[in-house]
C-alpha cells in the first residue's frame, strides 16, 4: 500500500496519533452538575440496591470507545490518500519519462463516460507506481511539470493539476530519460521516435463541432460586419444539429441543421450596427463526444458607432469628415456648452482645452497650452510606428507652424526633421489622449489624404477595442509593452518574460483582453478546427494501438470508501446512543 499525501512512515504515525487523540477525547469525563436536594432518603435506597450488571452493560463503553477510534482512523486514513502498491512491472532501469498528450481532442468522452484525458492520467499513475527508478511527468503543452522524482505524492499532485488543452507541440529531447512512455489518442499527427512506448487512449467517437467562426468586414457600409460560421458532423450517421448565434441577449441566428455523415455546412450572417461587440456561436447535437468545440466566440470591432463630441468654435472641417463615416456619430458643441452632461465615447477639441483633464479619451488639435518652443514650416518626414500614425503619408501634409508644449505628460510619436513634436499620444490622468501640435488653419490637414487616416487611427486607438482575430488555445507572445492580460471576467492571466517578450498561456476557449500603452485588444480563443474536432480518427498506426489503455473509472480511490465507512459508523453510534444502547 502507498500513500499519495505523505510517506508510509508518516502515514502510520498520523493514524496512531489520531487513534490516541480520539481515545483521549472519549475518556474525558464531563463534570456532573451539582443539585441541591431536600432529602437523601430515596437516593440512598437506589444506591444500596445491588443489581448485577449484564454482559452488554459491562462492555458497551468499550464498544463505544472502539467505534470512536475507528471513525477517527477512517477519516485520517482518507486524508493520506491510500492506494494499492503496484508491482514494479516496467522493465529496465534508470529514469522514466511519462508524457501525456494534452491536445484538446483528449477531452473527448469515451463509451464509459470518462474522457480520454482521465484514462491517460490513470495510466500515468499506474506507470509511475510501477517504474523502477525516478519518474518525470510531462505534457505536450506544458513540458515537464514534475520530476525527476521517486515521490509518488508529488507525482500525484502534478497529475491532479495537469490539464488538457493548449498547444500540443512540446516533445522531449533525446537525453531526457532512459525510457519514454507516451500516452496519446493520436489526434495530432507527429513523428514518434523509435524506442518510445505508445499507450493509446483512442476510441472512435462521434462529434459535431464549430470548426470556424470569425467576423469579417462587410462589403455593404450599413453592416458592422459579417459573421462566418462553419459546422461539421464527424459522425458515421446523419443527425440534427441546433445552431444558435447570439450577441448579448439578442439571438442573431437560430436554426436546426440536418447534417449528413461527414458533412460540413457554412453560413454567413450579416451583423447590424449596434449591440454587443462579443458574438457567440453554439452547436448542440445528440452524438457529441467533445464539448470544447461546441462553442465559439468572436469580436466585432465596429459593433456600434462611436459617439464623438466635437468642441470648438470653428469645426466645419471636422463636420464634413464625420458626416461621411457610418462608424461615427458626432455631436458639435460650443466651448460654453462643455460643462453639461455629455454622452460621448471620445472628445475632440479644436483649438480649445478644458480647465481640467476630461473624463474620457480626447483628441486635441492645437490646444492653447503652455508652449516651450515653435517651429515655422516644419517638415514631417517619417510617420512613425505608433498605431495612431500607422499608414499616414506625412509627405502629403504641409504645416505652416507647429509648437512644442511644456510639461505635457504624453509621448512624442511623430516629430519634424528638427525634432519639434507634431503628434503626442499616451495616457493622462488614466485617460488616453492624442494631441496634434498644429491646427487645420496652420496646415493643409483638412484636404490632405492623410487626414481621414490620421483621425480614424486616433479614434480607434482612443476608444475602440480592436480585434486580434481568432486563435487556438495555447501560448501567445506579446511585446514587452504589454501591461495586463485578462479574461472576460477580469481575471488576470499569468505572464512570463522570455527574451524581452511577454508570453501568456490561453488554455481555455473564450475571450481575452490585452492592455498595452492605453490600448485594448480582444483575442478570441476557440478550440474547434477540422483536425482537433474529428475525434473519430487517429494518426496512430495499428502497431501503436496494440497497447490500449482500458477504462480507468471502474476502480474508485480508497479514500472514498474510508469516508463512507466513517459516516456509517458515526450514524450507527448516534442511533444507538439515542436509544441508550451505547454511551
Q: Is residue 448 part of a domain?
A: yes
CATH number at residue 281: 2.60.40.10
- What's the pLDDT score for residue 217? 82
Q: Are residues 70 and 103 in the same domain?
A: no
Quickly state the pLDDT bin for 387 (edges 50, 70, 90): confident
Instruction: Evaluate whether residue 516 is within a structural domain.
Output: no
Whole-number Å distance between alpha carbons of 140 and 168: 5
Q: What's the whole-number average pLDDT of the chain?
A: 85
Give the pLDDT band (50/70/90) at residue 553: very low
Domain of residue 172 covers: 96-205
Residue 221 lies in a domain: yes
Residue 501 in grid coordinates: 517578450
Total domains present in the chain: 4
* 252: confidence class by pLDDT, cuts 50, 70, 90: very high
Identify whether 34 is part of a domain.
no
Q: Are residues 326 and 372 located together in one domain of the fold?
A: yes
Q: Answer whether residue 288 shows pLDDT above 60.
A: yes
For the record, the C-alpha cell of 12 comes out as 502510520
pLDDT class of 254 with cuts at 50, 70, 90: very high
Q: Are residues 319 and 455 in the same domain?
A: yes
Confidence (pTM): 0.69
User: Cβ–Cβ contacts within 10 Å for residue 550, how many?
Assistant: 10
Residue 291's Cβ-side half-sphere holds a number of Cα atoms within 13 Å equal to: 9
Residue 16 lies in a domain: yes
Residues 310 and 416 in one domain: yes
Q: Would the pLDDT of 172 be above 60?
A: yes
Question: Per-residue pLDDT tens for 58-80?
Answer: 788 888 889 889 999 888 888 88
Are residues 445 and 416 part of one domain?
yes
**Residue 145 pLDDT greater than 50, yes or no:** yes
Q: How does pLDDT run across 328-373, given as a tens digit for each residue? A: 889 999 888 887 777 888 999 999 998 888 888 899 999 999 999 9
- The reported pLDDT for the residue numbered 554 is 41
**51 confidence band (pLDDT: 50, 70, 90):** low
Do 324 and 242 lie in one domain? The reply is no
Asked if pLDDT for residue 293 goes beyond 80, the answer is yes
Structural domain includes residue 145:
yes
State yes or no: pLDDT of 316 exceeds 80. Answer: yes
DSSP letters of 531-577?
TTS-TT-----TTTTSSBPPPSSSS--HHHHHHHHHHHHHHHHHHHH
Q: Tell me, yes or no, whether 221 and 199 share the same domain.
A: no
**232 in a structural domain:** yes
The 10 Å CB-count burial string (b at 16+, else e) for 228-250 is ebbbbbbbeeebebebebbbeee
Task: Please tell me the distance from the alpha carbon of residue 129 to that of residue 134, in angstroms, as a whole number.
Answer: 10
What are the tens digits of pLDDT across the range 115-134?
A: 999 999 988 988 888 887 88
Q: Which residue carries 475507528 as its cell?
A: 70
Same domain, 178 and 234: no
Comparison of pLDDT for 42 and 458, the residue scoring more? 458
DSSP letters, 324-363, are T-TTEEEEEE-GGGTTS----SEEEEES---SS--SS-EE
Contact between 312 and 232 (Cβ < 8 Å): no
Cell 462492555 appears where?
Answer: 59
Any domain includes 498: no
* End position of a domain, from candidates 182, 205, 228: 205
Question: Based on the domain organization, do 337 and 363 belong to the same domain?
Answer: yes
Backbone angles phi, psi at 86, to 5 degrees: -85, 150
Q: Are residues 387 and 328 in the same domain?
A: yes
More confident position, 99 or 431? 99
Cell of 138: 510531462
- 238 and 199 within one domain: no
Distances (CA, A) of 335 to 364, 368, 487: 13, 13, 40
Task: State the CATH number of the domain containing residue 196.
Answer: 3.40.50.410
Burial letters 26-53, b for 16+ CB under 10 A, else e: beeeeeeeeeeeeeeeeeeeeeeeeeee
Name the domain boundary from 281, 299, 317: 299
Where is average pLDDT lowest: 11-25, 258-272, 436-450, 493-507? 493-507
If asked whether residues 200 and 213 sit together in one domain, one would say no
Residue 314, domain CATH? 3.40.50.880
In this predicted structure, which of 5-9, 335-339, 450-454 has the lowest mean pLDDT?
A: 5-9
Across the range 180-206, mean pLDDT stands at 89
Amino acid at each position: 500500500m502507498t500513500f499519495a499525501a505523505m510517506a508510509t512512515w508518516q502515514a502510520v504515525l498520523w493514524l496512531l496519533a489520531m487513534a490516541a487523540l480520539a481515545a483521549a477525547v472519549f475518556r474525558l469525563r464531563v463534570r456532573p452538575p451539582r443539585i441541591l436536594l431536600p432529602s437523601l432518603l430515596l437516593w440512598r435506597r437506589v444506591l444500596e440496591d445491588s443489581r448485577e450488571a449484564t454482559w452488554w452493560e459491562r462492555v458497551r463503553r468499550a464498544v463505544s470507545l472502539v467505534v470512536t477510534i475507528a471513525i477517527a482512523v477512517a477519516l485520517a486514513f482518507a486524508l493520506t490518500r491510500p492506494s494499492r502498491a503496484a508491482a514494479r512491472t516496467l522493465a529496465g532501469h534508470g529514469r522514466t519519462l511519462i508524457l501525456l498528450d494534452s491536445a484538446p481532442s483528449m477531452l473527448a468522452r469515451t463509451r464509459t463516460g470518462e474522457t480520454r484525458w482521465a484514462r491517460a492520467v490513470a495510466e500515468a499513475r499506474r506507470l509511475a507506481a510501477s517504474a523502477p527508478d525516478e519518474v518525470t511527468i510531462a505534457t505536450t503543452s506544458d513540458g515537464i511539470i514534475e520530476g525527476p522524482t521517486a515521490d509518488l505524492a508529488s507525482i500525484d499532485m502534478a497529475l491532479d493539476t495537469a490539464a488538457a488543452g493548449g498547444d500540443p507541440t512540446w516533445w522531449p529531447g533525446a537525453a531526457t530519460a532512459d525510457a519514454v512512455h507516451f500516452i496519446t489518442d493520436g489526434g495530432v499527427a507527429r513523428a514518434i521516435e523509435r524506442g518510445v512506448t505508445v499507450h493509446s487512449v483512442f476510441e472512435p467517437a462521434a462529434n459535431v463541432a464549430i470548426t470556424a467562426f470569425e467576423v469579417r468586414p462587410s462589403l455593404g457600409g450599413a453592416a458592422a460586419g459579417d459573421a462566418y460560421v462553419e459546422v461539421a458532423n464527424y459522425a458515421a450517421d446523419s443527425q440534427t444539429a441546433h445552431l444558435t448565434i447570439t450577441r448579448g441577449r439578442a439571438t442573431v441566428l437560430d436554426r436546426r441543421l440536418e447534417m449528413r455523415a461527414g458533412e460540413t455546412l457554412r453560413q454567413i450572417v450579416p451583423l447590424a450596427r449596434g449591440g454587443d461587440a462579443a458574438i457567440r456561436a453554439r452547436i448542440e447535437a445528440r452524438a457529441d463526444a467533445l464539448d470544447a468545440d461546441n462553442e465559439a466566440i468572436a469580436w466585432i470591432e465596429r459593433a456600434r458607432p462611436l459617439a464623438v463630441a466635437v468642441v470648438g468654435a470653428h469645426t466645419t472641417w471636422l463636420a464634413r469628415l464625420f458626416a461621411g463615416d457610418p462608424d461615427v456619430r458626432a455631436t458639435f458643441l460650443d466651448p460654453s456648452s462643455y460643462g453639461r452632461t455629455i454622452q460621448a465615447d471620445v472628445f475632440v477639441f479644436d483649438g480649445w482645452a478644458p480647465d481640467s483633464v476630461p473624463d474620457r479619451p480626447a483628441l486635441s488639435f492645437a490646444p492653447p497650452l503652455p508652449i516651450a518652443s515653435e517651429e515655422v514650416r516644419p517638415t514631417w518626414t517619417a510617420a512613425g510606428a505608433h498605431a495612431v500614425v500607422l499608414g499616414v503619408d506625412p509627405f502629403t501634409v504641409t504645416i505652416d507652424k507647429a509648437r512644442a508644449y511644456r510639461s505635457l505628460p504624453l509621448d512624442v510619436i511623430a516629430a519634424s526633421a528638427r525634432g519639434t513634436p507634431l503628434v503626442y499620444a499616451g495616457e493622462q490622468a488614466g485617460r488616453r489622449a492624442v494631441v496634434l501640435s498644429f491646427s487645420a488653419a496652420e496646415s493643409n490637414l483638412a484636404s490632405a489624404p492623410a487626414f481621414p487616416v490620421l483621425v480614424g487611427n486616433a479614434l480607434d486607438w482612443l476608444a475602440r477595442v480592436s480585434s486580434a482575430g481568432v486563435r487556438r488555445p495555447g501560448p501567445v507572445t506579446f511585446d514587452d509593452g504589454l501591461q495586463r492580460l485578462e479574461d472576460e471576467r477580469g481575471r488576470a492571466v499569468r505572464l512570463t518574460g522570455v527574451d524581452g517578450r511577454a508570453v501568456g498561456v490561453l488554455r481555455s476557449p473564450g475571450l481575452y483582453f490585452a492592455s498595452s500603452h492605453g490600448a485594448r485588444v480582444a483575442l478570441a480563443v476557440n478550440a474547434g478546427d477540422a483536425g482537433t474536432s474529428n475525434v473519430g480518427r487517429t494518426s496512430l498506426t495499428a502497431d501503436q494501438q496494440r497497447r490500449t489503455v482500458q477504462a480507468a473509472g471502474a476502480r474508485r480511490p480508497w479514500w472514498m470508501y474510508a469516508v463512507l465507512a466513517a459516516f456509517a459508523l458515526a450514524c450507527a453510534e448516534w442511533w444507538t446512543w439515542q436509544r441508550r444502547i451505547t454511551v
